[in-house]
Structure 1
């Protein structure tokens, strides 16, 4: 007797009647739309992710190279996928990091406002600078008070003068290479940027790079550049990390070229960067919401990440300790150079696009 065939509503391939799941695509044959059916995939995927993340968290933090080695050996459902873990942890890290960036941005704006008010710095002997002390400032204020009627000054004007004189400006050591007062006047009257650039000293045949640099300096002179510069640089960090991560895997491939394909080294890199982001995220969370961690402890923790990297290389690549130490040091040095170059590039990018 011939068994009745039915067609799957998902993949449209035939199968024998009576199956609870399609043998081709795995979809449940009973397609009655209930709340459980509607949210089954979402809930199951969420708790599957949650369970695998919890299983992966402890080995990630205390067993360097363990997860990468298990993934290469074929255990790819027990623990969270390396790319998935990296994406999840990086989102948490950048969310917490945004709070620090917001504070730094405010500080940068305040500092930039001080810079914008700084006059042209004039070099003078140390003896002459010593005379410009608090006593001298108080004499200036006293003369202003005694002659306020002649000068037409009000009490409010004297208060402003007092605040300016008493303001601590020792931290500002800004020297402008142009006539700051004239530039301020051009800004006040709404002069075109090209006119201001010329007055600042930009060449007639300025390149795109030179023009952007003068734009950054002008924004600093206006008192708006530092905050925008920091924000622009921060916005470029996630994209930069997606460049640095595969670059790090490429460096590993060069030093361990006999240990498999590029994807082999990329797995190790994903888990390593996940550990670094998770560690820094935990430190930021503690520092912000629990207790402020002393700077020397933070420094020791950051330096200890090299040992995590070293033991991870030992476990994952299975080489002797001396060769691993040598390669780990060279790899860290090369990558640090790229990080410095990237950091400088980000600052320049933020400055030129402030």
Structure 2
């Protein structure tokens, strides 16, 4: 082999014959001239495997339930796109659409509604009282109860503001919104408006001095919410946590499949099925989001589309696990019942809690 008949790979620097289109050592193209098209294609294909396998996989994914999963576990692992890659690509598109078309608008609407619904607190300046009202000893005792942990030697300007606000609230009377956590929202609003310190407000809210980190965090976030009225940010944080949650929810879905079809292969087999099914779900939801931006889809049509995902799962279970129709229907119903009745509600509550703690 002469030197003129060989070239050196620019990537791995090994020598190979000029007639090769790809380096036999690393696989890079022999003549990989950098253009905008090449740069775009390489970026997409490297991160999302956006190549011919995607198009070969997409139609069977939508029209042949269970087909891709069955072929993949059967050994055809290069002809179609890898299940995890297909799921990743479609989920990225779905969350981008959801964030663009739904989340941003919902967050703005929630923040606007909360600010419009904010109740003006009662605030009293002890040096500029227009009218003097006399409270009996029982009334005074009820007002001072939230401050029972403060001795009179410790009273300072912040304590005076607290006392003024509470007295004003009690004297004015009227309906008062009481929280389920043992404190009065109007009292807290009054303290916030009067400029009381967070420490004093926490006392009125009922937080103990020896409260743990999680409890302190909860009270801090509650006070932050009452001050800023930005509940939309809680929703935003919950939405942001969904992609992370799905890395747990999808394996749980596969675990349910494993329990119901414990003789039908290892856990990895059920995970393959789950990747393809969730990719299908995200595709359907993405189409609904896009179509809804162009026309207002009637609710009954959306309900039918969502119901169709159950029948898709039924056919997929029938084809992949090779069970009879009755057995497939019963197990598909069990899968849907367990997932929708237990897994998703718990996940939803966790997302809201996480969103509240970290917004």
TM-score normalised by structure 1 residue count: 0.73
Q: 2:113 pairs with 111, 118, 122, which one?
A: 111
Question: For 1:117, what is the secondary structure of its paired residue?
Answer: coil
Deviations 1:101-157 (A, max 9, x none): 11111121123224431779xxxxxxxxxxxxxxxxxxxxxxxxxxxxxxxxxxxxx
Deviation for aligned residue 1:323: 1.6
Deviation for aligned residue 1:80: 2.2
Kindly indicate whether residue 275 of structure 2 is the aligned counterpart of residue 270 of structure 1. yes
* More moved, 97-106 vs 269-278: 97-106
Taking the TM superposition and a 5 Å limit, the aligned residue runs for 1:319-334 are: 319-334=323-338
User: Partners of 2:25 and 2:333 in 1: how far apart?
Assistant: 51
Matched-pair contact (CA < 8 Å) for 1:119–1:180: no
User: Partners of 2:189 and 2:67 in 1: how far apart?
Assistant: 60
Kindly indicate whether residue 91 of structure 2 is the aligned counterpart of residue 87 of structure 1. no
Relative to 1, partners in 2 of residues 1:48 and 1:273: Cα closer, same or farther, differing over 3 Å?
closer
Matched-pair contact (CA < 8 Å) for 1:109–1:223: no
Q: Which residue of 2 aligns with 1:197?
A: 202
Q: 2:223 pairs with 218, 221, 226, which one?
A: 218
Relative to 1, partners in 2 of residues 1:326 and 1:192: Cα closer, same or farther, differing over 3 Å?
same
Deviation for aligned residue 1:271: 0.7
User: Partners of 2:18 and 2:302 in 1: how far apart?
Assistant: 62
Taking the TM superposition and a 5 Å limit, the aligned residue runs for 1:179-198 are: 179-198=184-203
Question: For 1:116, what is the secondary structure of its paired residue?
Answer: coil
User: Partners of 1:339 and 1:112 in 2: how far apart?
Assistant: 27
Give the superposed CA RMSD: 3.2
* More moved, 309-318 vs 259-268: 259-268
Matched-pair contact (CA < 8 Å) for 2:57–2:81: yes
User: Partners of 2:348 and 2:308 in 1: how far apart?
Assistant: 22
Kindly indicate whether residue 297 of structure 2 is the aligned counterpart of residue 298 of structure 1. no
Aligned residue pairs total 296
**Which runs of 5 or more residues in structure 2 are unaligned?**
123-175
Question: For 1:319, what is the secondary structure of its paired residue?
Answer: coil
User: Partners of 1:103 and 1:183 in 2: how far apart?
Assistant: 30
Q: 2:235 pairs with 230, 233, 238, which one?
A: 230
Kindly indicate whether residue 226 of structure 2 is the aligned counterpart of residue 207 of structure 1. no
Relative to 1, partners in 2 of residues 1:66 and 1:174: Cα closer, same or farther, differing over 3 Å?
farther
Q: Greater RCO between the two (CA within 8 Å, min separation 6)?
A: 1
Kindly indicate whether residue 55 of structure 2 is the aligned counterpart of residue 54 of structure 1. yes
Deviation for aligned residue 1:89: 0.8
Matched-pair contact (CA < 8 Å) for 1:112–1:223: no
Relative to 1, partners in 2 of residues 1:311 and 1:189: Cα closer, same or farther, differing over 3 Å?
same
User: Partners of 2:72 and 2:305 in 1: how far apart?
Assistant: 27
**Which runs of 5 or more residues in structure 1 are unaligned?**
121-172
Relative to 1, partners in 2 of residues 1:349 and 1:38: Cα closer, same or farther, differing over 3 Å?
closer
Q: Which residue of 1 aligns with 2:42?
A: 42
Matched-pair contact (CA < 8 Å) for 1:116–1:220: no
Q: Which residue of 2 aligns with 1:158?
A: none
TM-score normalised by structure 2 residue count: 0.72
Q: Which residue of 2 aligns with 1:241?
A: 246
